[in-house]
Amino acid sequence: MTLTNRQSGTNVCEIADGVYRINTPVVIDGAGGFSFNQYLIVDDRPLLFHTGLRKMFPLVHEAVASILAPEKVFRRLMANSWPRVKFGGFSNTRIWYILLAHP
Distance CA 54, CA 56 (A): 5
Residue 43 clears pLDDT 50, i.e. is over it: yes
| Model confidence, pTM | 0.71
DSSP the chain: -EEEETTTTEEEEEEETTEEEEEEEEEETTTEEEEEEEEEE-SSS-EEEEEE-GGGHHHHHHHHHTTS-THHHHHHHHTT-GGG-EEEE-TTSS-EEEEE---
Split into its structural domains, the chain has a count of: 1
Arithmetic mean of pLDDT over the chain = 76
Domain extent, residue 29, equals 2-100
- Residue 103: pLDDT band (50, 70, 90) is very low
